[in-house]
Amino acid sequence: MNKTCNCGILGLGSCFPKKVLTNHDLEKMVDTSNEWITKRTGISERRILDEDVPAHKLGVEAAKKALADAKVEPEEVDLIIVTTETPDYLTPSMSCLIQSEIGATKAAAFDLNAACSGFIYGMSVANQFIRSGFYKYVLIVGCEGLSKVVDWKDRNTCVLFGDGAGAVLFGPVEEGCGIITTYTGAAGELGKNITIPCCYISPEDIEARGGENKRTLWMDGSEVFKFAVKIMEHASTKVLDDAGLTMDDIKLIVPHQANIRILEGAAKRLNIPNDKVFSNLHRYGNISSASIPVGLTDAYSQKIISKGDNLILVGFGGGLTWGAAIIRWNK
């Protein structure tokens, strides 16, 4: 066991499929319009995997980039956590597939499913392992292939989601930097609002899918919308209180990207300008647990954040689950 230390971000990377599906493409697939999608969601396009390509391939590339950014070798990684709600297989886990392909021969590996909140849940696990000195390097890969579970005939959902992966290597950082606090929560009684059946499907699930026994994503969009705006405010306020900080101390919020109106609604409740809330939703749509690590990678490469800045990361989604964290940028 090493001595205790702060846990922070050492490297970041992301990867997307090449294929772009625009709102205009969707107009040819379901009864929708570019105007409706842009106005109601903020999404212009999303990236989609070819049918014969498994989603973990995106995670492999994102993970390699994060390790190269950190200048850490794959063999040095102690633990890989892949956050996903769209694993290629139930077993082997996506984390084992990625572990093997990047050559992280000494790493333990497991998948974590907290839907769109997965990255924050993963961070809270990494923080415990690194702070305690038990592990030095923990790689979290948010890796999703939503296109494989979306019902491409359902206009209520198919316009919202996309595929992508974001990876972050966590490790020891100097005193005063890194993860300051994390908060995670769940309300299982609301889980019925977003479902993707897997090994079991109930009569209610079949009814929601128009009487068809299909294992596709179904969602009560307006219920989730109301939940998301409230929980973003609650979770952000909770981590600020826990850290003894105020919104004035925060440079940027990097939230889960589901709908621009959710982000604007939460900004209003938090009494902050919209430009304090990072968004890349127009390019990728909702990529579930990949959206926060991808958002961090984009914000960092666009030089919006620099060393010493305090960030709030906040996620919400299926389960229903939520989570938030405050991190002092150390790169």
Annotated catalytic residues are 116, 256, 286
Of 71, 56, 72, nearest in space to 15 by CA? 56
Centre a 10 Å sphere on the Cβ of residue 128 and count the other Cβ atoms it contains: 14
Q: Which is nearer to ligand COA, 228 or 252 (CB)?
A: 228
Nearer to ligand COA, 67 or 228 (CB): 228
Q: Rounded to an integer, what distance in angstroms lies between the CA atom of residue 168 and that of residue 77?
A: 12
Q: Shortest distance, CB of residue 264 to ligand COA, whole angstroms?
A: 12
Instruction: Give CA–CA dist 194/114, Å, rounded.
Output: 12
The residue number with the shortest CB distance to ligand COA is 221
Spatial CA neighbour of 114 closest among 2, 194, 222: 194
Q: Which is nearer to ligand COA, 119 or 129 (CB)?
A: 119
Residue 246, token pair as written in the block: 């105020």
Exposed e or buried b per residue across 180-191, where buried means at least 16 C-beta atoms within 10 angstroms of its C-beta: bbbbbbbeeebe
Asked whether 94 and 59 are in contact (CB, 8 A), the reply is: yes
State the nearest-atom distance from the C-beta of 193 to ligand COA, in Å: 9
The length of the chain in residues reads 331
Can you read off the two tokens belonging to residue 183?
């908060």
CB of 331 to ligand COA, least distance (A): 28
Closer residue to ligand COA (CB): 109 or 143 = 143
Closest to ligand COA by CB, 99 or 291? 291
**Environment class of residue 54 by beta-carbon count within 10 Å: exposed (0-12), middle (13-18) or buried (19+)?**
middle
Q: Which is nearer to ligand COA, 180 or 258 (CB)?
A: 258
CA distances from 98 to 66, 110, 216, 280, 281 (A): 13, 10, 25, 26, 26
* Strand locations in the chain (E): 6-15, 20-22, 45-47, 79-83, 108-112, 138-145, 163-173, 178-186, 194-195, 218-219, 252-255, 310-317, 321-328
Could you tell me the CA-to-CA distances from 148 to 53, 62, 145 in Å, in that order? 10, 19, 6
Q: Closest separation between CB of residue 229 and ligand COA, Å? A: 9
CB of 7 to ligand COA, least distance (A): 26
Smallest distance, ligand COA to C-beta of residue 320, A: 8
155/269 with CB nearer ligand COA: 155
**Least distance from C-beta 178 to ligand COA, angstroms?**
26
Give the full edge-to-edge strand order of the sheet including 321-328. Answer: 178-186, 321-328, 310-317, 252-255
Which positions lie near ligand COA, rule CB under 6 A?
Answer: 32, 36-37, 40-41, 116, 155-156, 159, 219, 221-222, 224-225, 228, 258-259, 286, 316-317
Task: Describe the strand order of the beta sheet including 138-145 as a list of residue ranges.
Answer: 6-15, 163-173, 138-145, 79-83, 108-112
